[in-house]
């Protein structure tokens, strides 16, 4: 069986997808610089430690891709903090665009025919219409979103010139943890609402900041589409089957189609944990649209994808179980 290269496979979404692939007896090689990943999350898969934006990346990729046959790349490896991207755009263009181009060039050199890309709802910018469909205009409003959109364009152009087929999976808010409780979200610093709310409930943070409570939404707080990380992982497997079966390049939103406000998430964390989440209202963050919700009709229709974890309560239960398992994050980093 041909191997799969998974960039960023030691990170949050990548590690859950690696587990899903290993459980299907796929042969996985991870390429990760461990800038944000965790060795223990890799599930025993081989990790080639290399920086996509580093000076020796072409050699590292040649060494990996040259030693056996690969039939696809799953590309999670990227920088993913919106605020940081505004302060340090060079880091984002070097990693997310430059690093991505190194990867595509190596795929061309070694005849790897397909790539699955972790894209984002941030490529849509401020939505003109909600729920957001895949044909919604893509006008990102920060460098992070722009680097992801540029890479989507690069994939389109390399398909025409070099025949590499691809699937862009535009995630909305990835969340939750593996149902077994031993794999989950451990970003340092953490910037996602559910783990932050769990940490506040555990007393590991003084409070959670609610960025604006005067939006035009029913309770005044922002509404997002929370998609469980195992549902994301399964979508990657389906995208892989699609490309292996000769399917055409395509882009898909990945959300549940349901929106939850910040206050609804906090309530769910309080219910699941049985603890209070101390909170403070802070000013709005610039570039935070009031409502970001996907329509996931296309991926349901084309791949038959269905979320196994559509309920916010269940999502929070998995996140809380992981936090209880590793209150200080993954060990031995």
Ligand X SMILES: NC(=O)c1ccc[n+]([C@@H]2O[C@H](COP(=O)([O-])OP(=O)(O)OC[C@H]3O[C@@H](n4cnc5c(N)ncnc54)[C@H](O)[C@@H]3O)[C@@H](O)[C@H]2O)c1
What is the C-alpha separation between 114 and 164, in angstroms, rounded? 5
Of 255, 259, 275, 310, whose CA–CA distance to 197 is shortest?
A: 275
Residue 78 or residue 223: which is nearer to ligand X going by CB?
78
Q: What length is written for the chain?
A: 333
What burial class does residue 157 get, using C-beta atoms within 10 Å of its C-beta: 0-12 exposed, 13-18 middle, 19+ buried? exposed
3-state SS, residue 102: helix
Closest residue to ligand X: CB criterion = 11
CB of 35 to ligand X, least distance (A): 4
One of 144, 215, 226, 330 is an active-site residue; which one?
A: 144
Cβ-Cβ contacts under 8 Å for 224 (sequence gap 6 or more): 172, 173, 193, 259, 260, 292, 293
What is the C-alpha separation between 284 and 68, in angstroms, rounded? 50
CB of 208 to ligand X, least distance (A): 17
* Residues 261 and 222 sit within 8 Å (Cβ to Cβ): yes
144 carries an active-site annotation: yes
Binding site for ligand X (CB under 6 A): 7-8, 10-14, 32-37, 51-53, 76-80, 95, 99, 118, 120, 171, 173-174, 187
* Residues 90 and 21 sit within 8 Å (Cβ to Cβ): no
3-state SS, residue 170: strand
CB of 74 to ligand X, least distance (A): 10
CB of 73 to ligand X, least distance (A): 12
Q: Please state the φ and ψ torsions of residue 136, each to the nearest 5 degrees.
A: -65, 140
Cβ-Cβ contacts under 8 Å for 244 (sequence gap 6 or more): 71, 72, 114
* Residues 190 and 328 sit within 8 Å (Cβ to Cβ): no
CB of 201 to ligand X, least distance (A): 20
**Is residue 60 reached through a cis peptide bond, with omega within 30 degrees of 0 on the bond before it?**
no
CB of 51 to ligand X, least distance (A): 5
Active site residues: 144
């Amino acid at each position: 069986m041909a191997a799969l290269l998974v960039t960023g496979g030691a990170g949050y979404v990548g590690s859950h997808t690696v587990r899903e692939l290993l459980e299907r007896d796929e042969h996985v090689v991870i390429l990760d610089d461990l800038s944000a990943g965790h060795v223990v999350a890799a599930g025993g898969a081989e990790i080639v430690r290399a920086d996509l934006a580093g000076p020796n990346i072409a050699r590292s990729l040649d060494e990996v891709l040259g030693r056996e046959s690969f039939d696809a790349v799953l590309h999670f490896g990227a920088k993913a903090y919106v605020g940081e991207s505004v302060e340090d755009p060079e880091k984002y263009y070097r990693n997310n665009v430059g690093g991505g181009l190194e990867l595509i060039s190596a795929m061309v050199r070694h005849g790897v025919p397909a790539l699955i890309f972790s894209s984002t709802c941030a490529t849509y910018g401020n939505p003109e219409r909600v729920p957001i469909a895949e044909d919604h205009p893509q006008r990102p409003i920060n460098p992070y979103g722009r680097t992801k959109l540029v890479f989507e364009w690069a994939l389109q152009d390399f398909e025409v010139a070099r025949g590499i087929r691809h699937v862009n999976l535009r995630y909305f808010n990835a969340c939750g943890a593996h149902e077994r409780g031993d794999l989950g979200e451990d970003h340092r610093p953490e910037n996602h609402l559910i783990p932050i709310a769990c940490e506040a409930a555990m007393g590991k943070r003084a409070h959670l900041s609610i960025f604006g409570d005067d939006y035009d939404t029913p309770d005044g707080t922002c509404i997002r589409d929370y998609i469980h990380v195992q549902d994301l992982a399964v979508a990657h497997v389906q995208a892989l089957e699609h490309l292996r079966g000769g399917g055409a390049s395509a882009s898909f939103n990945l959300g549940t189609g349901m929106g939850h406000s910040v206050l609804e998430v906090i309530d769910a964390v309080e219910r699941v944990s049985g603890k209070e989440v101390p909170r403070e209202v802070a000013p709005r963050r610039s570039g935070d649209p009031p409502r970001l919700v996907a329509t996931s009709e296309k991926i349901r229709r084309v791949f038959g994808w269905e979320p196994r974890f559509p309920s916010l309560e269940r999502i929070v239960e998995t996140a809380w179980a992981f936090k209880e398992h590793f209150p200080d994050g993954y060990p031995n980093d």
